[in-house]
Structure formats: structure tokens, C-alpha cells
Structure 1
């Protein structure tokens, strides 16, 4: 899902992503443009065949919501992925995290899909998580990579009320086994002691250690310690993937083969448009791409050139002007006109903001009676407050709209396809987790994961990195990812940058979901 960046409070990310994309109980950003042509109806998978629950190796007694989670479930399926019939097993359940004395600290929910009849030693495993912080992994699970997806009506992608679960013929299962893990406090992952949960799990470092242990537990219990390993994170989950890769190496002696980041929050300071002019510069190319798309001027043939030109204007003339002595008179007017032309934002608004556009501001998002999304600058609804409103009171068409459907859809999917039934609501985005998050890294007030990534690339000469961004994402813009990648001194040739038509949740758009899936599967099977 994505980080959920809160535009008025730093570093509380309650309206930024995601997952891997954040605000009220749901979210990750999205691109929400339907495919231009309907896809042929996919082949239906065979009904799940239920198997016996695995034997518990240790008996624990839980006294809170964790006691309402059922035993693990095993189901058997077949599906058509990349035009191949694949038989696979789904294992749905929990992994128990423990403290130094062996007492349970959390039940971590996961769903693992493993292909039948193949050599597990050489079959890649991809571990997925969304972001938030506080987001469950249903977004990537039902949005991008799992064997089933939540499909929104053709011609009206905002209609979450009528979304349906359908087979995902582009599932990443065609290339790797898939393990979707919910962070403690999200989805159906439940800490055993709510009073101790924040200190134990709700922070950059403790979160990474928890994920590293959960991955080690799953790999050990399934004899997958030497399988090729990939981490897949969306939004804040991109930052998480870097930290988890480091924790796996340091805590569990596990080295990963690759890190895949979707719409990643690579460096929180580079997303803080209220306080950093470099972050402000990174948003401008996404605004320009959104305007070009709305004017039908962005095509597959010219997109690369247009985005490159927008990027160089933003980090060149635009950034240098913001960093210099403030302009006045005709020079200022000329600059504001340039910014208005590039961004599509009315000149009056640009002048009022002195060229430093805050994408979350209502007067930036509201144009011609339409309210545009931070998560996809091309997606809009009728503005419910055309007269103007405080930024925090202005809803996001995607964050506060149709993406809420992922939570209840996952409950339905788990019960009917995975034979996993619980009275607990699936926590799509837990704002208590989000608000309690500790972003510190040792003595630093906020984590800076890029030095960690640089160390990982230098220490592991075969580690490869895949970064995917949507053209129209104003939360984690593609320019930020490009700038970070270009400044990596060692291993730059092992970082693959991909951009797609769409927003923060690239996969909401069917054609971009297919392209992302193909690129990711190719990356995991070099």
C-alpha cells in the first residue's frame, strides 16, 4: 500500500500510501483509469479443495483478539497464469513471534501460495507487504500479484460498491511462490499485548526485525532457506523492504536476491513538500504528466521524452529559482507563468503559492468544479466543497473512495477461497498504528534508508533492485525515485527504474497492472 502522508503534520504519514501508499481505515494510492478495451473473460480456477490444518508444534493460550483467529487452513487450487495451467497450494494462517523468554508477542497473519510439483530449492519466493505504516497487505494481494484480484467496473473505476473478485491471469505466481504478510497491528496480525505493541512493533527498526523473524519462521518451516528470495513493498513498504533486507542479513543471516519497490517512499524528507524545495520539485513532473494525460497529449510513443523533459525542468530551472533569492516584478510573473504551464495549476494559485505548490492543498487539487486525487493526478470527482475548505477536511477521491472495498473483499476471499473464517474485521489501515509510528533511527530524528541500501548493494554484488512508479503519483512521485537512484554510487547498474501510466496504486489500471506484472516476473526470473 503506500505510505499515508498527512499533509499538515510531519512525520505522521496518515495521508501519504501504499503498500506496499495513507489516511482513515484504508488506503494506498491508485491509478484509476480502466483499460481501453475489455479483456477476454479469464478462465475460472477450480474450486478450492480443503486440506487438514497443520499440526501445531507449540500450544499457546491467547486472551485478546488473537484468540479469535482460527487454525491454519490449507486449500488446493488450479489457475491459468500467463496462459499456463498451474496447480498450487494456499496455506493461510499465522506465525507466532516471541520475546526473549519465549512468550508470544504477536500472531502474524500470512497467506502463502506455492506451486505444486516443482523443485522448491530453485523456485523463487516473493515476500509481500504494504506500507502505511499501518496498512494491511490486501492491496498488493488483491490488487496486483495474487491469484485473484478485485476488479472495478469498466467505465467507472470509482465504483467500489460493485467491485468483484475475479481470477488474475497475470498473477506473479507464474514466476514465484508468493507469501503475503500483514504487519503486527494490521490486517489480521495481532499483538498479544496491546499496551506493549507500540514499543515492540510500531517503529522503523522494530518493524523490520519483526518482519525478518516472520520470514525466517516461514522459510524454516517450509524448507525454503535456500530458495531465491525477493522482497516486495509498496509505498512505505519500499522503505520497509530496505530495512527488512538489512535485518534479514544482520538478525537471520539471510541474504536476499532482489528488492522490488512499488511507488516507494525511499526517503521521507524527499516527500516533505511543506519543508523541502527538492521535494516540491519532485512533484512538478507528476503534475505535468497528469495535465498532459488529461489533454490527451501523453502517448506511449512520447511519454519517455515528455517525462524526461519535465524532470530536467523541475530539478534544473525550477529548483534553482526556488533556491535563489525570491523573484519580484516581471521576473516573478514570468516564473509563475512557466510553472502554471508545466503544472496545469491556474496562474492565480501558482502566484499565491509563489510557485511552491503543495499538492495536498485544496486550491491546488480543486479545478473547474472537480477535486483531483493526490494518488492519481488524473482522477477526480465533483468537488464537494467548491467554495473552498481546510486542507484536512477535503477528501481524497481515491484514498477516501473506492479503495475502501479492498478490506471487505479480502474477508470474503479468505472465507470462500482460502477456508479461513474469523469474526474479526480485516484492518486495512490501522490509524492507531500510523499515529504511534516511531520514525527514528538511533540518534537520528527520522530514518534515512538510502545509506542502508548503498551498503546492501556494496556488500552483496548480486543484489538487484526494481523500482516502479506511476506517472501521476503526487504522493511518491517518480522523480524522487529517479533522483535517488541516480545518486547511488555503487551498484547503479543493478537498479531498474520503471514508470507506468497510473498513480500511486499502479495496478488499479488494467494495462499497467499487466505491464508491471510482466516486468516483475521477468526481474525475478533472470
Structure 2
């Protein structure tokens, strides 16, 4: 702005010098020998102003460049809008896809962050507000919504083998098992994931925490249903992994702080009570019995169980779950007071149910972590099993280590999803953005849990409270038998401890799938999940 004013002023000085040159005053100055001094002074002024203008221009250009990559490039609320159609249940469904941003503002109404989203709306609908609206996000913390988006719920999905391995060329295909026939869909990328960013000069850490994250997404939901006039739509949340933690907390926040009541929640690979996770918390014996059925399922899949257990998986799991809740839990509670006879019996049973050697179980003091199980089950073959999906196996990078160096189940799909999704949003959704779409941000280690210091984070309390206050709220839960990240029996434990004297447990429907953390990468589980959710949503 200053440079513009200065540049207008310079021609004025030139005209002034020209006018004075032919004026009587100039002739008088010239006669007295002072005209040269006047010209030197005038040109010095012009030079100073011109130089100042140039410096201001450079400063403005530098400021413009400084804004590159910041929120000033993402202020546009609608980035793209495209039209499509999809065949679901033999019915052609026209829909529009909208990619946009919701801006979070400070007390002075200045943008401090931008939350990106991609929404899908069924077209040719008489009453859009009557259609259910599902807000979807993944977990991490630090994950974008890519997995639920093009893995299971969206109208386009990544092309995988029937068992969930990437296929080249990496691409998206129509998803006839999308939820778009049942509801409009909004895929949200929490701040610092996807295209969501903080404004220049803002600290992203103000959004990187359990409660901070919930509050920002609560504001997103409020603005979204306002902008799209969907306050009367049946509203649902869908989260995966830590996204289920987020969903439970967000449900409570929406209810208590914004008076936004939900109709349903879809929790995929749920983790609400962190005490059920094996996270190297010495003295916490709860996770070990809860992981045991997943170890059994994994050993069964890789044919490491005895002949008497290698038959029907369902029957085998019932036997193991009973052992986990009784003899195994009792043995862990007794600790060093366990008799030699009891100890030997537990070792033998654990060996039978895990496919691991009695020697290893003794060294582990009856307490088998999922990391060590992943490395030990197929150690003799030089292989490891996956954490997200223990059906997958890979060559051990260092056979001597106690823990796996990578997750073969994640590596089987990560590159596939990344390439296919980036191509999809640019080519089909017409999103023109050279910034990196951040699929996974490294936020886990710096996430703010300070409010929950010296305790285990337990969002099942928030879920229990909001379900008690909102009698219409129902919950769908999907668990994978081969998930070593959030084991299915831990989810059972959590929901069995909501409030036995109430109807809460009856309003939570748990479904199991013969796959892993992202069970939908297996085509048969994807199909079954759509059928299960369809039946569940009809009862909302």
C-alpha cells in the first residue's frame, strides 16, 4: 500500500521540477547560481522516495511469500464441487461432492485454523434435512480421514485384492457398499492432518490434545450444520481407533456445550478405556486376558494351534474367553502367590491357546505383550505377523530382536491408499492444491493428555453419560478378530462395564469380522459391515 502511494508521488515530483524549470523563480535562482543546488536537492528527494518505495515493495512481496502454505491460501470455504453417480443396490444415485474448509476464529473473529472436509450429498432429494448426516474421522491421533473415506464408507474406494492387499495400478473404483444410499457423508481431517492447517503465527499445539481436538471438531459440526441448513437432520458420528475415543468425547461435548443431540455412533475398532491397552504400564494386568483371544485367533489363522483347537474358530474362542476371564485372570491377580501346580497349568494352557512355547511363556512371566507375540509366533520361520491385521506376515528385518521393526499389514496398503487417494481428489474431485495432503501426522508422542495425568484415559464414561442423557442415542461397534492394536475382547470388556443396571448395553450392538483393525479391506467383511450397518440404521 505504501509503495503504491510513493510510486504515485514520484511522477508528481517530476512534474514539479519541470514546472519550476520554466518558472521565473528558477531563472532567478539560476541567475544567482543556486539552481544547481536546488536540482541536487530535488533529485535527492526523488531518489529517497523512490528507494523507500522499492523497499516497501520488496517487503510486501516478502510478506506475500511468507503467507504461502498458511491459512491465507485456504480461506475459500468451497474448494470444489463436482457431480457424480453411483450404483448401490441396483439403484442409480446421483450425488455431488464438495471439498471445503470450515474456519475456526479467535475472539477478534480472525481465522486461526482451517479444518478441511470432503462431503457427499445425494441429489434429487425433496427433503435434504430429513436425510441422516454422518460425520466421519479416523484416529491416530494424527490420522486423516482417508481410511474410512476411500476404504469403506465413501462412494469410491481403493482397489484392493479380496483379502486387502494393494493392487497396481493404484486406483479408486466405485464402492457399491458405500453408506451414501443411507446418509449424506462428511469426512473430516482434524487440524494438522489432510489439508487442515493453522493460520500463520498460530501454534498448532493449541489443537493437539484430547479436549482441544474435541472442541475444534465440535465447532466444525456446529458450523457445518448451520452452513448447510442441516440442524434437523438425524446426526451420527463415525470414528475408527482413536477416532472412537474422539467420537465418545465429542458426543458428550456436542450434547453438553452446544445442545446438539446425536442419533447414532459408528465405532470401528473401538478404544475407549486405555487401561485395556497393553502400553508397557507395569502393574496393569488387565490387558493380558483381553488380548488372549486375539492371540488365539491369530495362531488359528496361521495353523499354530493343536488339532483339538484348529477346527471351528468360534467354538475355540469361546473356550479361550472363558479361560481368560477365570483361571488366567485369577492367576495374574495372585502374582507370586500362585502355587507351582497352578503356574504349570497356566503355562500349559497359554501355550495351547497361543501357539507359543512354554519356555517363552515362562520368560514372559505369563504376560505376553502384543509386540512380542507378533515377533514370536512365526520366529522359527523368520517371519512376523501384522499389528493392524495379524493375518498378514512379513520377513523379520532382524530375527534376533524381541519386537517387530515394521507392520506388514500396514505396509500392504499404505502406499496404495496414498497414491490412489491423491490421484482421486485431484483428478475426479478437481481439488487444485499443491500442498501435501497429510495422511499421517506425527502427533501421537506430543498429544496433550495432561488432564488425564496419573490415570488412564477412559472415554467410556463420556459415552455412558451421553447415552444416559440422550435416550435416542444408539451405538454400532465393529471389531476385527485379527486386530492386535485394539483387540475385540477389550471392546467387549469396555461395553460390558457401561452400566449393568440400565439399558445402555442393549443400545450398543457389537459385530465381529474375520479381519483386522481396518476389517473393511477384506471384501467379505466390507460387504457384511454394510449389511450390518444398514439393518442397524433402520432402527434409529
TM bin (shorter chain): 0.7 to 0.9
Does the alignment pair 1:257 with 2:263?
yes
Query: SS of the counterpart of 1:248?
Result: helix
Q: For the pair shown, which has the larger CA radius of gyration, 1 or 2?
A: 2
Query: SS of the counterpart of 2:177?
Result: coil
CA distance, structure 2, for counterparts of residue 67 and residue 101 of structure 1: 16
1:401, distance to aligned residue in structure 2 (A)? 4.3
Does the alignment pair 1:473 with 2:483?
yes
CA distance, structure 1, for counterparts of residue 421 and residue 264 of structure 2: 27
- What TM-score, normalized by structure 2, do the two folds share? 0.80
Unmatched runs of 5 consecutive residues or more in structure 1 = 1-60
Listed one character per residue, the Cα deviations across residues 457-504 of structure 1 (whole Å, up to 9, x for unaligned) are 110111101111001111101101111111221311101011111011
Listed one character per residue, the Cα deviations across residues 336-381 of structure 1 (whole Å, up to 9, x for unaligned) are 1210111122332212102200111264354322110111222101
CA distance, structure 1, for counterparts of residue 479 and residue 190 of structure 2: 23
Q: Give the equivalent residue in structure 1 for 2:93.
A: 86
Residues 192 and 283 of structure 1: CA distance in aligned 2, closer, same or farther (over 3 Å): same
Asked if the contact 1:152–1:162 (Cα under 8 Å) also holds between the matched residues in 2, the reply is no
Asked if the contact 2:159–2:166 (Cα under 8 Å) also holds between the matched residues in 1, the reply is no
Q: Give the equivalent residue in structure 2 for 1:176.
A: 183
Match of 1:284 among 280, 292, 315: 292
1:407, distance to aligned residue in structure 2 (A)? 2.4
Residues 516 and 154 of structure 1: CA distance in aligned 2, closer, same or farther (over 3 Å): closer
Please state which structure has a larger fraction of its residues in helix.
2
CA distance, structure 2, for counterparts of residue 247 and residue 274 of structure 1: 30
- What TM-score, normalized by structure 1, do the two folds share? 0.82
Does the alignment pair 1:344 with 2:355?
yes
Q: Give the equivalent residue in structure 1 for 2:516.
A: 503
Asked if the contact 2:69–2:435 (Cα under 8 Å) also holds between the matched residues in 1, the reply is no
1:328, distance to aligned residue in structure 2 (A)? 6.0
Does the alignment pair 1:373 with 2:386?
yes
CA distance, structure 2, for counterparts of residue 509 and residue 298 of structure 1: 28
Listed one character per residue, the Cα deviations across residues 393-448 of structure 1 (whole Å, up to 9, x for unaligned) are 611112344323322322111111111121111111101x2222012336765532
CA distance, structure 2, for counterparts of residue 365 and residue 395 of structure 1: 15
Asked if the contact 2:475–2:507 (Cα under 8 Å) also holds between the matched residues in 1, the reply is yes
CA distance, structure 2, for counterparts of residue 95 and residue 430 of structure 1: 20
CA distance, structure 2, for counterparts of residue 309 and residue 125 of structure 1: 41
Match of 1:325 among 312, 315, 335: 335
CA distance, structure 1, for counterparts of residue 434 and residue 176 of structure 2: 30
Q: Give the equivalent residue in structure 2 for 1:488.
A: 498
Residues 363 and 398 of structure 1: CA distance in aligned 2, closer, same or farther (over 3 Å): closer
Query: SS of the counterpart of 1:231?
Result: strand
Q: CA RMSD in A?
A: 2.4
Listed one character per residue, the Cα deviations across residues 153-210 of structure 1 (whole Å, up to 9, x for unaligned) are 457x444654331111100111110000000011111111465211x21011110111
1:336-485 aligned at under 5 Å gives the runs: 336-361=347-372, 363-364=375-376, 366-367=378-379, 368-386=381-399, 388-389=400-401, 391=403, 394-431=405-442, 433-441=443-451, 445-485=455-495
Does the alignment pair 1:147 with 2:147?
no
Listed one character per residue, the Cα deviations across residues 267-307 of structure 1 (whole Å, up to 9, x for unaligned) are 112113532211111110011112223339999x9544433
More moved, 328-337 vs 174-183: 328-337
Asked if the contact 1:440–1:447 (Cα under 8 Å) also holds between the matched residues in 2, the reply is no
Q: Give the equivalent residue in structure 2 for 1:134.
A: 142
Does the alignment pair 1:167 with 2:177?
no
Asked if the contact 1:160–1:401 (Cα under 8 Å) also holds between the matched residues in 2, the reply is no
CA distance, structure 1, for counterparts of residue 359 and residue 108 of structure 2: 63
1:75-114 aligned at under 5 Å gives the runs: 75-114=82-121
Query: SS of the counterpart of 2:477?
Result: strand
Query: SS of the counterpart of 2:533?
Result: helix
1:129, distance to aligned residue in structure 2 (A)? 0.4
Asked if the contact 1:377–1:503 (Cα under 8 Å) also holds between the matched residues in 2, the reply is yes
Residues 305 and 174 of structure 1: CA distance in aligned 2, closer, same or farther (over 3 Å): farther
Query: SS of the counterpart of 1:398?
Result: helix
Asked if the contact 1:124–1:524 (Cα under 8 Å) also holds between the matched residues in 2, the reply is no
Residues 278 and 160 of structure 1: CA distance in aligned 2, closer, same or farther (over 3 Å): farther
Q: Give the equivalent residue in structure 1 for 2:213.
A: 207
For these two proteins, the number of residue pairs brought into alignment is 460
Does the alignment pair 1:226 with 2:236?
no
Query: SS of the counterpart of 2:203?
Result: helix
More moved, 290-299 vs 220-229: 290-299
Q: Give the equivalent residue in structure 2 for 1:11.
A: none
Residues 467 and 375 of structure 1: CA distance in aligned 2, closer, same or farther (over 3 Å): same
1:121, distance to aligned residue in structure 2 (A)? 2.3
More moved, 375-384 vs 240-249: 375-384
Asked if the contact 2:170–2:419 (Cα under 8 Å) also holds between the matched residues in 1, the reply is no
Residues 268 and 314 of structure 1: CA distance in aligned 2, closer, same or farther (over 3 Å): same
1:24-39 aligned at under 5 Å gives the runs: none
CA distance, structure 1, for counterparts of residue 389 and residue 160 of structure 2: 16
Listed one character per residue, the Cα deviations across residues 292-339 of structure 1 (whole Å, up to 9, x for unaligned) are 23339999x954443333222212211111111334645433321210
Query: SS of the counterpart of 2:296?
Result: helix
Q: Highest relative contact order (Cα 8 Å, sep 6+), 1 or 2?
A: 1
1:64, distance to aligned residue in structure 2 (A)? 3.6
CA distance, structure 2, for counterparts of residue 321 and residue 236 of structure 1: 31
Query: SS of the counterpart of 2:425?
Result: helix
Q: Give the equivalent residue in structure 2 for 1:513.
A: 526
